[in-house]
Amino acid sequence: MKRTLFASLLMLAVVYSTALSAPSLLPTETKLTAPDAFIDQNFSYAMAIDGDTAVIGAPNHSVVADGFGAAYVFVRTSSGWQLQQKLTAADASPQSFFGISVAIDHDTIVVGANGDANAGFSAGAAYVFVRSGNTWVQQQKLTGSENSTNDAFGLSVGVNGNTIVCGAFGNSAFNTITWGTAYVFMRTGNTWTETQKLAASDAADFNSFGGTIAITEDTIIVGAIGNAGFAGAVYVFTFDGSKWVEQEKLHAQDATPKTIFGYRLGISGDTMVVASEGRVEATFDTSTPAAVYIFRRTPSGWHQQKRIRITDADLQGQFGLTAAVSGDTIVIGCPNDFTVAPYSGSAYIFRRNGESNWTFSQKVFASDAARDDVFGNSVAISDDTVLVGAIGKSDVAPFAGAVYVLNFDF
């Protein structure tokens, strides 16, 4: 189905949380949709932004069969955000789910396809694209040296400069179950070469190490949501000049089974955000609600600085299912928020004032919020620009999805 690429600029309706109050900085809003959107394409399942370029994954996009997938690159111009190119795999196939994960750094984009069958069902792959002028060209398809059935290589991807890291949470040794690994690739010239395979020093069954990943400069962080009965953990690796070395293993200070710490990750300089999914076993059970944890790097290592949890969103809102950080700003998704309509969703903005004083700034909703939008299912941030996904948005096609670009003046 064809449709205009994006709606004209609108002012975002900003509503304060009933539990929090703070001065607001009113952002402007641009709504992005796929020009060839169709039902259930999962546009906004994954997103990434770097400066004036954003990439949006739609892993179920296809006009032939389920799960071919696509990724859309948008750029900010003097006339607003515009589609630069639609990316697809050169060897696209059904059930590859190209676009399940995306990452960008300047003129390099990585797109995960965890269902690719290069070494068996759901072995997984990742595709590297580079920009030349205004055109993105597929540079290479990446697979792990030990790819095998159900590895799900590419479910998570990250890129920084000439380094790419791809998670394979299903990869295991000796017939074990979902220990998980992550593969590191380095670029020399135009070629990416696998240089190291990362694994947890205390690898164990059901850890799912590599399910989530983030990278910045000389630091890679890897989530292992299944660790210790799904309490979850995050492993920190640093580059010593020749190889990546596990530096430490992080837990939530209040970790319990079912916390699922590491469900989503973000890193910016010396600041890390970790989302925990939590699990509610009964309608009014709030024993393990979702939350976001902020860690700060010091000379003695990483330390938990703050836990953010919103009481009025614990049950229906699922506050903290997604999170991203850039500099002194954190954006947190609350995709099942009922405030405007059932499952319409919301996002929270927190700002750092000083070294450790993170305070609530505002809660935002889409200007056209509606039932089942799931606004906040994914979030991304670069400086003062925030992306919020609404995977259930149905104005273009039923549950086709949309992305809202919020420009702040921090």
Q: Is the pLDDT of residue 289 over 80?
A: no
In the chain, the percentage of residues whose pLDDT exceeds 70 is 89
The confidence score (pLDDT) of residue 287 equals: 55
Q: What is the pTM of this model?
A: 0.92
Average pLDDT for 310-318: 60
Query: 15 or 217, which is more confident?
Result: 217
- Range list of β-strands (E), 8-97: 10-11, 28-32, 46-50, 53-58, 70-77, 80-87
In the chain, the percentage of residues whose pLDDT exceeds 90 is 80
Selection from 360, 355, 359, 350 nearest residue 381 by Cα: 350
Amino acid at 286: T
Helix (H) or strand (E) holding 227: helix 227-230
Q: Is the pLDDT of residue 352 over 80?
A: yes
> How does pLDDT run across 185-201, given as a tens digit for each residue?
999 999 999 999 999 99
The confidence score (pLDDT) of residue 9 equals: 25
Which two tokens mark 92? 């696209």
The confidence score (pLDDT) of residue 25 equals: 61
Which two tokens mark 2? 């064809």
Residue pair 100/112 in contact (Cβ under 8 Å)? The answer is yes
Q: Is the pLDDT of residue 354 over 90?
A: no
Confidence grade of residue 17 (pLDDT, cut at 50, 70, 90): very low
Q: How many CB atoms lie within 10 A of CB 257?
A: 12
Confidence grade of residue 11 (pLDDT, cut at 50, 70, 90): very low
> What pairs with residue 390 in β-bridges?
375, 402
Torsion angle of C-alpha atoms 356, 358, 359, 360, degrees rounded to 10: 180
> How does pLDDT run across 160-193, given as a tens digit for each residue?
999 999 999 999 876 678 899 999 999 999 999 9
Torsion angle of C-alpha atoms 396, 63, 58, 129, degrees rounded to 10: -130
Alpha-carbon distance of 51 to 385, in angstroms, equals 8
Residue pair 332/375 in contact (Cβ under 8 Å)? The answer is no
> How does pLDDT run across 246-261, given as a tens digit for each residue?
999 999 999 888 889 9
Task: Give me the residue label for tokens 């449709």.
Answer: 3
Q: Is the pLDDT of residue 23 over 90?
A: no
List strands edge to edge, sheet with 108-113.
Answer: 98-105, 108-113, 125-132, 135-142
The confidence score (pLDDT) of residue 193 equals: 98
Average pLDDT for 41-62: 97
Residue pair 88/106 in contact (Cβ under 8 Å)? The answer is no
DSSP notation for 189-210: TTEEEEEEEE--TT--TT--EE
The confidence score (pLDDT) of residue 372 equals: 97
Confidence grade of residue 150 (pLDDT, cut at 50, 70, 90): very high
List strands edge to edge, sheet with 53-58.
Answer: 46-50, 53-58, 70-77, 80-87
Average pLDDT for 73-80: 97
Residue pair 325/332 in contact (Cβ under 8 Å)? The answer is no
Q: Is the pLDDT of residue 22 over 70?
A: no
Buried b (16+ CB within 10 A) or exposed e, 64-84: eeebbbbbbbbbbeeeebebb
The confidence score (pLDDT) of residue 196 equals: 98
Confidence grade of residue 96 (pLDDT, cut at 50, 70, 90): very high
